[in-house]
Chain A
Amino acid sequence: MRVNPRFTDALVRHFLNLQAYFTVGLLVVIVFIIFIKGISNCSLSFMLTYPEDMGRHGGIFPAIMGTVFLAALSIVFATPLGLGTAIYLTEYTRESRLTTIIRFGVESLAGIPSIIYGLFGFIFFVIKLGMGWSLLSGALTMTIMILPTIIRTSEEAIKAVPRNLRIVSHSLGATKWETTVKVVLPSAAPGILTGIMLSIGRAVGETAAVIFTMGSSLRLPASLMDSGRTMAVHFYILAREGISMEKAYATALVLVVSILAINILAYYTMNRVIAKYS
């Protein structure tokens, strides 16, 4: 017997709705649990004071700053490199064996588990180059780790810029570089920004690669060569070593809220940029 297509249609629509709600629901549940468990220990002074007794007492100020430093540095290193690669791949070369190899390399880089990056960073930056456990080792390791995301998202964003904009720019006498800087990149900005924001999220949330390279010092890093810890690492150590589950959840709450804030900020900026141009 033939099933009524209208019935199938309605069924599918409800089913798809359900899936969407389920996804959002998961996010809500996770944030809710973290919120309930963390809010009692989370306060402004928790965010602004130094930890005491391995984190059993006191706040997480150094961890917050460590997270900010690490994320900012890795973005500063990775963005020019990743954007440059994306511009090269899309604007300055034709599809060839070389581009296939580069893309394959980027894909492979993206698929490597973060612990491997941690080990590599430890062997190369910490030991071989003698940087020790430091902000710099951590940031360089994170740079390699987020590079594929930045390259891929930038490349897609640049490719989506209509070809005729490049042509008309050339017809007005602009060189390739002028066209890239003044037409292509501004048009691709929302996409590029998304990639950067995703990368910040990744750097903020990473633990394995960071412990191996940046170490886990509880002090506030005062220079590039100082060790430090991020909120994610702090959370991991507090929970793993049974130091204080209360403080761990409070840290997690700050972490989750800041990631949400970054995403909302990214979304807002992106819409502003898009609204300006279209």
Chain B
Amino acid sequence: MMDCALKTEKLNLFYGTFHGLKNVDFCVYRNAITSLIGPSGCGKSTLLRCFNRMNDIIDDVSVNGSVLVNNRPLEEIDIIELRKKVGMVFQRPNPFPFSVRENLVYGLKVHGYKRSDYDDIMERCLRAVGLWDDIKDKMNTPALSLSEEMKQRLCVARVLTVEPEIILLDEPCSALDPIATMKIEELMIELKRFYTILIVTHNMQQAARVSDYTGFMLLGDLIEFGETPKIFTAPQDERTDGYITGRFG
């Protein structure tokens, strides 16, 4: 049995009275890419946001069942520590309207890193996302002046600065053009050597290209979960088959 970096057992989530996640048993394996696919509103982003407690910000959400991060129950982990360990990249590139440098040191300030380490950490993270050569002379330019793809890379780098173990990506390419998308996908494959990655995508080709494991969700249920090739070539559930062959979605 492989090790789950993230795990849910009988996870139920409600928005008010709306049943958003239904008895979800799910596992994200360490140092692999797991993707969640499914039509809009199926709960895939909601499930992703359970792992760094971003659902807490939304009013009127209640959760029961268990979520384990590194085999520890979520509620035992301090929320600041949790969000350091489980980083998140969002759908739209969302750098702060500050300089590139200030974006990168933000998390370092929040988590009390030593100022003398800033430069090394920034360089390491920018190299990891392949931005270093392009951006090393532009550290003081406004982050919002970068191209969309570079902004998204910067956002990934910003997450990496605080040394997470797990990275959640919520449709990270949906605001990008196909070439930029391809580059971000290459980046994800690079990153999985050191990080555990969970990606939500509505792009099935993307899931097939980058992920080792795929979960298919529909109306709050995790219908099927397994190795990506199996899900895409021999799905067990006819609803999965219907979705990946484009009969609905």
A interface, CB within 8 angstroms of B: 94, 162, 164-165, 167-175, 178, 182-183, 186-187, 276-278
Report if B162 contacts A (CB, 8 A): yes
* Neighbouring B residues of A278 by C-beta, 8 Å: 97, 142, 144-145
Interface of A is mostly: helix
A277/B109 in contact, CB under 8 A: no
Cα distance A174–B84 in the bound complex, in angstroms? 9
Q: Which of the segments B37-45, B85-93, B188-196 contacts the partner chain?
A: B85-93
B97/A187 in contact, CB under 8 A: yes
B97/A277 in contact, CB under 8 A: yes
- What total of chain B residues lie within 8 Å of the partner, measured CB to CB? 30
* Neighbouring B residues of A174 by C-beta, 8 Å: 106, 110
Cα distance A211–B87 in the bound complex, in angstroms? 59
* Neighbouring A residues of B159 by C-beta, 8 Å: 172
B interface, CB within 8 angstroms of A: 52, 54, 57, 59, 79-81, 83-84, 87-88, 90, 92, 94, 96-99, 106-107, 109-111, 142, 144-145, 155, 158-159, 162
* Neighbouring A residues of B90 by C-beta, 8 Å: 164, 167-168, 171
A172/B158 in contact, CB under 8 A: yes
* Neighbouring B residues of A167 by C-beta, 8 Å: 54, 57, 90
A234–chain B nearest beta-carbon distance, Å: 44
Please, could you name 15 A-B residue pairs with CB atoms under 8 Å apart, sorted by A? Answer: A164-B90, A165-B94, A167-B57, A167-B90, A168-B90, A171-B52, A172-B83, A172-B159, A173-B81, A173-B84, A173-B111, A182-B106, A183-B96, A277-B142, A278-B142
Cα distance A172–B87 in the bound complex, in angstroms? 7
A170/B98 in contact, CB under 8 A: no
A99–chain B nearest beta-carbon distance, Å: 15
> B110 contacts which of A178, A186, A276 (Cβ < 8 Å)?
A178
Cα distance A207–B92 in the bound complex, in angstroms? 51
> B107 contacts which of A94, A162, A165, A173 (Cβ < 8 Å)?
A173
B158/A170 in contact, CB under 8 A: no
